Amino acid sequence: MPTPIDIGPRGLTAEAVVAVARHGAPVRLTAEARAALAAGRKRVEALAADTAPAYGVSTGFGALATRHIAPESRARLQTSLIRSHAAGTGEEVEREVVRALMVLRLRTLASGATGVRPGTAEALAGLLNAGITPEVHEYGSLGCSGDLAPLAHVALALTGEGRVRDAEGAVRPAAEALAAAGLEPVRLAAKEGLALINGTDGMLGMLLLALADLAELLRVADITAAMSVEALLGTDRVFAAELQALRPHPGQAAAAANMRALLADSAIVASHRGPDCTRVQDAYSLRCAPQVAGAARDTLDHARAVAERELAAVIDNPVVLEDGRVESNGNFHGAPVGYALDFLAIAVADVAAIAERRTDRMLDVARSHGLPAFLADDPGVDSGHMIAQYTQAGIVAELKRLAAPASVDSIPSSAMQEDHVSLGWSAARKLRRALAGLRSVLAVELITAARALDLRAPLSPAPATAAVRDAVRARVPGPGPDRHLAPEIAAAADLIAEGAVTAAARTVTPLR
C-alpha cells in the first residue's frame, strides 16, 4: 500500500498528486485542515443567515446571479446546480485524470477558503480511498469557471447520483457503490455545490501527469538520438561541453550531457573518428538533437513553474477570506494553465518530428552510410522498417495539428456573463494525445536504431546504448526476414512507458 498523502490547508506537491492519481495512494485530512474547514464553514453559515445577498449562497449562479434565493430553497439550489452542471458527454476520461482532479479539489477544500463543511471534504477523501471513480466525460469544460462539468460529475457521485467505476473497474450506480464501500451520500448545504465544481483541477491534474510523462520521454529521446547517431556513423564531437556552453540554455546542456554519456566508449563512433573520415558535418537531425530536446526541457521547466504556482493556489468563487469577508474573483480562469499546456504540445510535436527524420535517414541507402535499404533482410523481397516510418510520419502530422493552441480560442457562454473562456481542459486533452503519439514515434526510432546497431557488427555500440539495445532484444528480436511489425512497435512503446529504456541506460551511466 502506498504511503498515505496528507492533505493540509497549504497545498500539495506534484509528486503527491501523481501518487494519488496514478498509483492509488490513499489520502487523509490533517488536523490543521479540519480546523481550517470548520472556521471557513462558520463564516459561510453567518453569511447565509444575513439578509444581504451573497453570490452562490443566497443567489443563483452565472447569468442568474441576480436572483435571490429564499433560505428554504438553498439546499435545493446546490443540488440543482450539481445535477444541471453534470452535463458532460463523449468518451469516458481516464481514471488517473479523474483521481487527479478529485485530489486537487480536495486540496482546495482543505484550505478552508471555500466554506464547505469538514464532513463534505471527508466524504471526497472517502471516495478516493475506496477507489471509486465517478464517470467524467471528454466534453463539458470550457476552462472557465474552472472545469465545471467534469467536477460536477464527481460532486454528483458524492451525493449518491450518477454512475461510477468501483475499485475493480466495474460500472455501478453511485448509490450502490457508496453503500458497498460503507460511505454515506452527502446532502449538500449552502455554497457546497459551488465549492465542489469551481476550479481548474482537471486541467491542472492533466498538466501534472503530463510533466511526469514528458520528463521521462525527453530522456528516452536523448537515448534514441544517441543510438541513431551511432547507427548513422555520426560524430559525438558536436556534443562537447565547451561547444554547448557557448549557448547556455540549461535544457540543451542537460541533453548534450546525456548524449555524451550515452556515446562514451563507442567502438562505432571511434571507427570513423580519424583523419581519413571525409564527412565534415552531420545532418541537423543528429547534430542539433540537444538543441531541440533541450528547448523542450526548458519549456517543461516553465510549465513546471506554472504548475507549482497553481498547486499553491486556492481557486473558488466566491472565496472565504481570513478576515471573514466572502469575495467574488476571477481566479478560476484557466489561462495560465492553458498556455502552459499548449506550449508543451508544441515542444512534443517538434521532438517527435526530429526523431522521425533520424529514422528516415537510417532507412535510406543514399544517407545511411552502408546500411541495407530500409534495414531489410533481403531488400525487395523484404520491406524492413519502411512502413514503420510511414507510421511515424502519420503521427507527426497529427502532432502538428495537436500543436495548434486551444487557449487562443474562446466561445462565450452563460448569456454572455462568461464571455471569455480559456479552453484549458481542451488543451490538456490534446496534450495527452500528443504525449501518446510521441511515445509511439520514439518506439519506432528505438527499434529501428537497435536494428541498425546490430547491422553495424562486428563494431560494437557504446556500453550504455548496448544496454538499451539488449533491453529491446528481450522483447523484440534482432534483424531477420520481415515479421509482423505492429506488436514490436507496441512492445517498444511499453518498454518506454514502463521506464525500462531509461533504466537500462542507467545501469551504465546516470541521466539528467
List residues with catalytic annotation.
55
Compute the distance between CA of residue 501 and CA of residue 445 in angstroms, rounded to an integer. 13
Contact indicator for 166, 180 with CB cutoff of 8 Å: yes
Compute the distance between CA of residue 36 and CA of residue 34 in angstroms, rounded to an integer. 5
Compute the distance between CA of residue 95 and CA of residue 24 in angstroms, rounded to an integer. 10
Length of the chain (residues) = 512
CA 89 to chain centre: 21
Across-strand partners of 29?
7
A 10 A CB-CB count for 103 gives 25
Three-state DSSP state, 426:
helix
* Set of cell numbers at residue 111: 484550505
Strands 137-139, 89-92: parallel, antiparallel or unpaired by DSSP? antiparallel
Q: How far is CA 279 from CA 83, 232, 272, 275, in A?
A: 68, 12, 9, 10
3-state per-residue secondary structure call for 42-67: HHHHHHHHCCCCCCCCCECCHHHCCC
Full DSSP string of 245-295: TTS--HHHHHHHHHHHHHHTT-HHHHTT-STT-------HHHHTHHHHHHH
- Helical (H) or strand (E) element with 297: helix 289-311
Compute the distance between CA of residue 108 and CA of residue 201 in angstroms, rounded to an integer. 9
Reference 296, options 339, 262, 344; nearest CA is 344
Compute the distance between CA of residue 288 and CA of residue 51 in angstroms, rounded to an integer. 67
CA angle at 326 for the pair 324 and 330, rounded to the nearest 5° = 140
